[in-house]
């Protein structure tokens, strides 16, 4: 692999899917698949740093996932809590800025406090920004952005004309991803070919890559192979080359 001359994506995003099927194949509980998936997060984070990717974002829990059995929700939130505490020193050692984005009002007070602590302690790090989308959905994000915009209009009627001149690039700042570049590449594991309400606005021009590998088996080798695939893509943005 010619890593030196390769086109490296600035922002890679992953829809981490297939934990349940990975566990089922082994006759294990779905929760075992989620626990193994944490190892893939670690491996892909390391690989992203090694490849020179600046933003790695992971779809960990959708707004729709609140419809799963409470025991599975508790396991997933518990894993999030535990991993964050365990990884904090590794984030500091490796220059990783950690962020959680999503509808945080639905998370427990304990989890929110741990997230705030981890975000605050890593906010100066710049080697890699690791974003976990938790209780997130694309439609929710666009709607909360629209509500913020409407509230600003109501607060500042004298600026009505200026605000109504809003362009797509200006709308970005109302989204929870404000300040974060749009994903260059969105990977979905486990063979499913849908976005499941993920980054609907921000992914407007992302390259899409669907892998049959189940998330717990998606490690450094698979991540590097995805970087090679991306390097061969021709991004035209509607223009003629």
125 binds, among Mg ion, ligand IPE, none (CB under 5 to 8 A by kind): none
Write the Ramachandran bin of 38: left for phi over 0, alpha for psi from -120 to 50, otherwise beta: alpha
Does 144 engage in binding with ligand IPE (CB under 6 A)? no
Shorter beta-carbon distance to ligand IPE: residue 215 or 230 = 215
Q: Which residue is nearest to Mg ion (CB)?
A: 17
Q: Which residues, 62 to 101, sit near ligand IPE by CB under 6 A?
A: 62, 65, 76
Task: Indicate if 65 belongs to the active site.
Answer: yes
Identify what 21 binds: Mg ion, ligand IPE, none; CB under 5 to 8 Å per kind. ligand IPE
Q: Which residue stretch of 15-23, 89-97, 155-163, 197-205 sits at the interface with Mg ion (rule: CB under 5 A)?
A: 15-23
Q: Which two tokens stand for residue 161?
A: 């004309």
Q: Which of 74, 192, 212, 228 binds ligand IPE (CB under 6 A)?
A: 192
Minimum distance between the CB of residue 177 and ligand IPE, rounded to whole angstroms? 16
Q: Which residues bind Mg ion (CB under 5 A)?
A: 17
Catalytically active residues, by annotation: 17, 65
Q: Which residues bind ligand IPE (CB under 6 A)?
A: 15-21, 59-62, 65, 76, 190, 192, 194, 196, 215
């Amino acid at each position: 692999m010619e890593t030196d001359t390769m086109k490296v994506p600035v922002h890679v995003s992953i829809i981490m899917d297939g934990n349940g099927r990975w566990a089922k194949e082994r006759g294990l509980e779905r929760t075992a698949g989620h626990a193994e998936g944490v190892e893939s997060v670690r491996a892909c984070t390391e690989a992203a740093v090694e490849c020179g990717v600046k933003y790695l974002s992971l779809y960990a829990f959708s707004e729709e996932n609140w419809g799963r059995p409470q025991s599975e929700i508790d396991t997933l939130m518990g894993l999030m809590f535990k991993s964050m505490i365990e990884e904090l020193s590794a984030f500091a050692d490796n220059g990783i800025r950690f962020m959680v984005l999503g509808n945080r009002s639905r998370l427990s007070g304990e989890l929110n406090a741990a997230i705030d602590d981890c975000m605050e302690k890593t906010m100066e790090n710049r080697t890699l920004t690791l974003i976990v989308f938790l209780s997130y959905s694309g439609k929710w994000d666009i709607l909360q952005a629209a509500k913020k915009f409407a509230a600003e209009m109501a607060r500042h009627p004298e600026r009505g004309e200026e605000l109504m001149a809003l362009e797509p690039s200006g709308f970005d700042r109302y989204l929870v991803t404000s300040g974060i570049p749009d994903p260059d590449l969105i990977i979905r594991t486990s063979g499913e070919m849908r976005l499941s309400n993920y980054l609907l606005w921000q992914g407007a021009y992302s390259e899409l890559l669907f892998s049959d590998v189940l998330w717990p088996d998606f490690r450094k080798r698979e991540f590097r192979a995805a970087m090679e695939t991306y390097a061969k893509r021709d991004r035209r943005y509607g223009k003629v080359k």
